[in-house]
Structures are given as structure tokens and as C-alpha cells.
Amino acid sequence: MTAARLFQAGGRALFVALWLIVITLALYAAARFRYTADWTATGRNSLSAPSRAIVKALRGPVDIIVFAHGARPRRALAALITKYRRVDPAIHLRFINPDRHPALVRRLGIRFNGEIEVRYQGRQALVLSPTETGVTNELASLERTGVRRLTFFVGNEERKIDDGSVLGLSVWGRQLRARGFHVTTFNPGAGKPWPLHPGIVVLADPRVPFLPGELTHLQAFIKGGGDLLVLLEPGDHAGLAPLLAPLGLHVRRGFVVDPASSLLTGASPAFIAVHQYPNRGPARGLRLVTVFPTVSALRIGQEGAYRVRPVLTTGNDAWTQIAPLQGLVAPPAGVKPTVLTLGAGIEAKTGGAQRIVVLGDTDFLSNSYIGEGGNLALAMNLANWMAHDEAFINLPNRASPDLTLTLTSGEEDVIALGFLVALPLALLGGGVATWWRRRRL
């Protein structure tokens, strides 16, 4: 064998050896290191930013037990929990076949195949919905070590938190309790002493004016640094001006009209839709459309001891009016359309711990409207922001836009004509052309 052939054979052997080394190193790296990329439109195969914030805030290991039988539900739930384990490997997952442990299933109250139990720091909870939203909500609920209390005042014809009617707030109440809030009621006119630690006081559309003594107690509560959520409706506002004026806030007469909202809702211009929010307070980071049926506008006066900032506003072409809407909708004479404030966040300039929110609408929280658009998300953001739980704002309820196809009416007409007219005519024409060619042969 010549030297040239020996050189070529040695080169080939060296090339094969180098390739074997590269493949071995690649296999070692694949076994030793792991990299995951999510290229879906909304990152539905990975946790959303709010969920990651909740998981990173956990101060200990989490045990997640899935009661499921069957390969398909187990695979789906394992994929869900894997997203959490990528953020925190201390999250442990195990499966239990409910058919083999009936006593345990009865003791825990397991109701359906695929139900999840979460255990954290000696506390446990069942996930109401086996989704990212459900799991994250339960983790947030278990993480709340302090008491998050909301005290709803009753006795002045306010909306009731346990009222299941269309105007009641029972849906919001269930969501608050599911996410770790302690919800109570208090009647200031029942002769009982005011609660020492009411938490966040909620005035939900009071219709009967407060007595002077009740207003005095509320004013003292605010001066003492108490947190307050005031939900209004167009009307007389139950004489709350003495309570709101010292905060630098006034309620405009009438109701808000915004013709641009009709383009989003297809409803009356008095049915207000909001899709842009200031990057502050409870609306920070909100990307959903919220709707407000018949809402009051607020006017922010000169600042005193409190810092007042809008948290909900209309578009540029809104106005308020007193007369009912009739015929062609136009602003009253002498009224110039502008941006109106629908909700304001108020914080004390000193201390920084007190938070007050005043909104010009209560209906958006009612059972008939809380499921519309982003109303529920805003409702939970209100509670979390006022409880100083910013990490829990905007908990996920994500949709995946690449799972559905949304078409305009024109596009639907084109597709219908294509399948019902153009395609049959094309097939018929092709058949006729083939028949004609064969006939001429």
C-alpha cells in the first residue's frame, strides 16, 4: 500500500473517530442538559407570567396529587403540571387511581376523574378546574398566609355578596372565597359595635342615605388608614359626597355616553366598553375588554392629603347626560366630548399603605355581567390590589388564538360561495371538458 493510500485511510479513520466523539458528546449533552422552547402564539405550553410569579413566591415544596384513571387524562394532566415543574422542580406530582382507593376519595370529597389536590405547608385544597387558571388560583389561595378580609356593608339597600339574583354579587363572592379571601357582611344600623378589623370595607351601590353617625364612623375609618372600595351607580349616591369630597373626588351628574363603545359591543352608547387602561393600580397589565352598563363619571379635584389617579377611563368622545337617550345620539348643547374617568385609585401621600378605589358602576360585578369580557379579571384585580397582593393581579385565564379561526362576514361569504358555487362549477366544467375531448377523438 502506498503512502498516499495510507494517508487517505488514516484521514477517513480520523474523520470517523471525530464524528463518533461529536455524537458521543451530543448524546451526553442531551442527557445532561435540557432546553425547552415554546413557539405557540400565546405560549400555551408554558406558564404565563402571573403563574410564574406565584410559583416563584412559594416558600416550600408543593405536593400535587391527581386522582385519575386512564392514559389520556393522565397524560393531559401530567403535561399541565410539567409546566409548573419547569419553573420549580420542588413541585412533586403523583397519580392515584380513584377506583383503588374509594375510602380516600370519599374522605377528600373527590367528585370527578382528573380532580387535583394541592398540598402546601400543611394546608390543602382541591382544584375546582384542572387548568392553569385553576391550579394557579389554588396555589395563590394556599400561599396567602395572612387574613384577606372584605367586609360588605348591608342595611342601606346595598348589593349583597350572597345574592344569587341577576343583580346580586354571589358569583364574585364565590371567586373571592375560592382564592383565599375571607368575605363577611356588617350592618352598621343594627346596633352592633363596628368590627375592630374589618379589612377592606365595601360599599356596593348603597341606595339609602347613611345616617350622620354612620358617615362619622366611615370618615374615622378612612382617616385611620382603612381601605375602602366604593361602587356606585348613576343616581343620588346615598349622600356619599361628604365621604368622597375630602378624598378629592366628586361624582358627575347623569350617566356616561360613549358612541365608540357601540362599535365594540353593538349595544347602546350608554353601555360602556373599556379596552385601554392606565398602567397603574388594579387595571395594570389588563388586556381584556371590560363592559359597564350605565356608569357614572368621576371628577378629580385638587389633591390634598391623598393622591388620586384614574384607573378606568373612556375614549376621547364621551360625555355625560341626564336625559334618556332618544333618536340620534349626540352630546347636549354646550357639552364637548372628552375623556371621562370611570374609576379612581386613591392612596394616602404619607404612609403609602392605605388604598381606596371608587368606581362609577356596580353592575359590571353583578351575576349577569361579571362573566362578560374581562369583568371577572378586573373584579379579582380590585381585591388583590387593595389587599397589596400585586403578585396575584391578572392571574391567567388565557385563550389560544391559534386554536380557533375567526372570520369576518365577508370572508365567510367568500368561502361559502367558493364551496357551494365555484367548486361545483369547476368540477362540472372539468367533467364537460373531459367529455368533449373524448367525444372528438
Residue 287 DSSP label: -
User: Per the domain annotation, does 438 fall within a domain?
Assistant: no
Residue 194 DSSP label: P
Copy the grid coordinates of residue 63: 405536593
Work out the mean pLDDT of the chain and round it to a whole number. Answer: 85
Provide the number of structural domains found in the chain: 2
- Write down the pTM of the prediction: 0.68
More confident residue, 244 or 34: 244
3-state helix, strand, coil in the chain (%, to 5): 40, 20, 40
* 224 in the same domain as 272: yes
Distance (Å, rounded) from C-alpha 157 to C-alpha 71? 53
For position 200, what pLDDT does the model report? 93
Extended beta strands in 3-103, E state: 62-67, 91-96
**CATH code: domain of residue 66:** 3.40.30.10
With a cut of 60, say whether residue 219 has pLDDT above it: yes
More confident residue, 247 or 404: 247
* 154 in the same domain as 79: no
For residues 115-122, average pLDDT: 90
pLDDT in tens, 28-40: 887 777 666 666 6
Residue 413 CB-half CA count within 13 A: 3
pLDDT in tens, 269-308: 999 999 989 888 888 888 889 999 999 999 998 777 888 9
User: Per the domain annotation, does 238 fall within a domain?
Assistant: yes
**CATH code: domain of residue 281:** 3.40.50.880
Strand-pair category, 200-204 with 227-231: parallel
Cβ 271 vs Cβ 265: under 8 Å: yes
What percent of the chain has pLDDT above 70? 92
More confident residue, 404 or 304: 304
Of 40-44, 183-187, 386-390, the one with minimum mean pLDDT is: 40-44
pLDDT in tens, 343-399: 999 988 776 688 999 999 999 999 999 999 899 999 999 998 988 877 777 765 444
* 166 in the same domain as 114: no
* 95 in the same domain as 177: no
One DSSP character per residue, 95-126 reads EE-GGG-HHHHHHHT--STTEEEEEETTEEEE
With a cut of 90, say whether residue 130 has pLDDT above it: no
* 208 in the same domain as 137: no
Strand partners, 63: 92, 119
Determine the structural domain holding residue 60 and report its residue range. Answer: 49-141
* 380 in the same domain as 267: yes
Q: Which amino acid is at 196?
A: L
* 136 in the same domain as 199: no
* 186 in the same domain as 132: no
With a cut of 70, say whether residue 86 has pLDDT above it: yes
**H or E element, residue 347:** strand 341-348
User: Per the domain annotation, does 425 fall within a domain?
Assistant: no
